[in-house]
A and B are shown apart, each in its own frame.
Chain A
Amino acid sequence: MAQPAISHPRSVPLSIPVRDVLPWAIFAGVLALALIYFVGAEQGATSLISGDLVHEFVHDGRHLLGFPCH
């Protein structure tokens, strides 16, 4: 686990090893992209759940966040 440099206030901070970040990046990245998909595209371009409840619920946010809506 990386600790920031403490020798001098101006020193370059120590970086976090990539192998520590990678598992989190893959797992949380996939979850985050799934969430963005449900806000941005579900029941629009593609539909995993039938109906238009998701689309209609996030409708205004989808428009204002700039996703193509309908």
Chain B
Amino acid sequence: MVKNLLVRGMLAGLAAAALALVFAWIFGEPQVGAAIALEGHTPHGGHDPVATVPEAGADDGPVSRTVQSTIGLAAAVGVYGVAVGGIFALVFALVYGRLGAFGARATAALLAVGAFVTVSLVPFLKYPANPPAVGHPDTIGRRTALYVTFVTIVVLLGVGAVLLERWLARRYRNADAAVLAVVAFLAAVTAAALLMPGVEELPAEFPAGLLWRFRLASIGTHALLWSGMGLFFGLLAERLLTPSAIRANAPSTV
């Protein structure tokens, strides 16, 4: 059962990654290319304004821009999708039947919303994605540590909010318990974000419009990845967990 769910999670992750990849390629790559074109004055190996012309054999580093923006991007998003898809399936296996009377598809959808908020959205609001030419190479260690720490804290606070909701649901109505747990989560996450140090490394001359479009593309990619995950995994898990007779009799059960 668990092995079967794990395989389905990895497949759903791959399908969701394909969806996110199309979005990232159409809306994200132009911003990455434009940011690299501004990077000429920043000394960083592997980036050169010349390389923004993908043709002309732009072979500035070990990997050309053409490879970076196509199979490099696809490999990164694909591996990320399969990996988070596997974790998604295992978390699903733990929470299925323990969140109340939710079926497979509703559990997957709820989990996808929770994952988007805790893994992507809240960390994005504190430490937003940055295009090339933003950020000093010297502080990469500190920035990565802060980012990973904050994602971990937010995920743990999300788990805590779910446990709180389950505990409150024994005393109050389900809707009240859910609202209280969400409010507690928002308060705790806000406190954590205020306590964590900020990162201010944006060059003053970096175009605001380009930064905004890049960040929209980044959070949009995450939104599509998690939407696809919830949808595809819900469909695959339902076929495994719910016998077809019940599905036929209860089409309204999500």
User: Which residues of A approach B to under 8 Å, CB–CB?
Assistant: 1-2, 4, 6, 9-16, 18, 20-21, 24-25, 28-29, 31-33, 35-36, 38-41, 44-46, 51-53, 55-70
Closest to A58 in B: B76
B contact residues, range: 35 or more
Given contacts A6-B243, A9-B250, A16-B93, contact A59 B68 (CB under 8 A): yes
Closest to A15 in B: B97
Please give me the 10 A-B residue pairs with the lowest Cβ-Cβ distance, nearest first: A61-B76, A15-B97, A45-B144, A9-B250, A66-B129, A58-B76, A68-B143, A56-B63, A35-B83, A32-B83
Asked if A59 and B72 sit within 8 Å, CB to CB, the answer is yes
B120 close to A (CB within 8 Å): yes
Asked if B75 and A24 sit within 8 Å, CB to CB, the answer is no
Interface centre among B2, B87, B94, B101 (most CB of A within 10 A): B2
Contact of B79 among A2, A14, A38 (CB under 8 A): A38
Contact of B141 among A1, A45, A65 (CB under 8 A): A45
Total CB contacts across the A-B interface at under 8 A: 188
Complex: A66 Cα to B75 Cα, angstroms: 16
Closest to B1 in A: A1
B221 close to A (CB within 8 Å): yes
Given contacts A24-B6, A59-B63, A60-B29, contact A66 B124 (CB under 8 A): yes
Complex: A36 Cα to B77 Cα, angstroms: 10
User: 1/0 contact trace for B65-81 toward A, CB 8 Å?
Assistant: 00111001111110110
Instruction: Kindly list chain A residues whose C-beta atoms are within 8 Å of the C-beta of B124.
Output: 66
Given contacts A63-B130, A67-B144, contact A24 B2 (CB under 8 A): yes
Instruction: Kindly list chain A residues whose C-beta atoms are within 8 Å of the C-beta of B6.
Output: 24, 28
CB distance from B252 to the nearest CB of A (A): 9
Instruction: Kindly list chain B residues whose C-beta atoms are within 8 Å of the C-beta of A65.
Output: 76-77, 80, 129, 218, 221-222
Interface centre among B24, B29, B120, B249 (most CB of A within 10 A): B24
CB distance from A17 to the nearest CB of B (A): 10
Complex: A12 Cα to B174 Cα, angstroms: 15
CB distance from B125 to the nearest CB of A (A): 11
Asked if B147 and A10 sit within 8 Å, CB to CB, the answer is no
